[in-house]
Amino acid sequence: MSELKKIIGRGREAFQSGNYDKAKLLFLKALEKRNDMADIHNMLGIINHQDGNLEEAKYHFERALIINPGYTDASLNLSVTYNELGKYNEARKVYSRAMDQSKDQKSNLDPYIRGKLSNKHAELGDIYKEMALYDEAVREYEKALDLAPSFLDIRTKLADTLRESGAVEAAINEIDKVLSQNQEYVPALISKGVYYFSCKDYEKAKNVFEKVLENDPSNRSCNLYLKMISQNQENENSEVLKKK
């Protein structure tokens, strides 16, 4: 085995085990010997993105795409990085190209790749949601679920985004889909409790939050909402007594 292959092999092992500092050193050493390896640049981009070095991440993702313009994973990684750098037009262009390239191949993707693509859509959805661009966030989450319908965390994010955008009925419909697959899924239960709380249906909200606390007594969100429910119910009772 050549020295370069040994370096790359050790780098991949370190990367897969989460030892990014070691992987980075090995990958940079590999690139000194040969600079035309798109997957090495992509992994260096991921490492730098993880470390918050967005400009370095951008450089490596761009290099990966110069070497292999059809590298969908690098395109999606670059799109996410552009968004975080505020380069929204560039992000849209890269993302559109990636989707055009993968559109005809989607049905043939193996489950692992479908999962990775789904998570990339969800990451974009998270960014749009943080910016209160709810329509764009909903579209990304729906694309993610088209690839991986069983990802309960993404469907719960979709439900929360719909609720925040005012599409309450659609939100609760998505939550019910999640709970039909796993009735004990805590994020979805909390989301349903928040829905009831926002509708001032305090008894139903209380029942949901107490169900969560049976298995997770220290859940801060549920304990906080239960305190607010208690206070609101006391205030309502006070108002009723005043009127009498």
pLDDT digits (tens, 9 = 90+) for 182-191: 888 888 999 9
Q: Which tokens go with 184?
A: 């004990």
- Spans of all domains in the chain: 184-244
* Mean pLDDT taken over the chain: 86
What are the φ and ψ backbone dihedral angles of 131, each rounded to 5 degrees? -90, 5
> CB under 8 Å to 63, separation ≥6 — which residues?
38, 41
Instruction: Name the pTM for this structure.
Output: 0.55
Q: What integer pLDDT is reported at residue 10 of this predicted model? A: 92
Tens of pLDDT along 193-225? Answer: 988 888 888 899 999 999 989 888 888 888 898
List Cα–Cα distances, 63 to 13, 39, 57, 71, in angstroms: 22, 10, 10, 11
Q: What integer pLDDT is reported at residue 1 of this predicted model? A: 45
Contact between 37 and 68 (Cβ < 8 Å): no
Tens of pLDDT along 8-50? Answer: 989 989 888 889 999 999 999 999 988 888 889 999 999 999 8
Q: What integer pLDDT is reported at residue 136 of this predicted model? A: 92
What are the φ and ψ backbone dihedral angles of 53, each rounded to 5 degrees? -90, 75
CATH class of domain segment(s) 184-244: mainly alpha
In angstroms, the CA 229 to CA 94 distance is 46
Question: Would you say how long the chain is, in residues?
Answer: 244
Q: Is the pLDDT of residue 100 over 80?
A: no
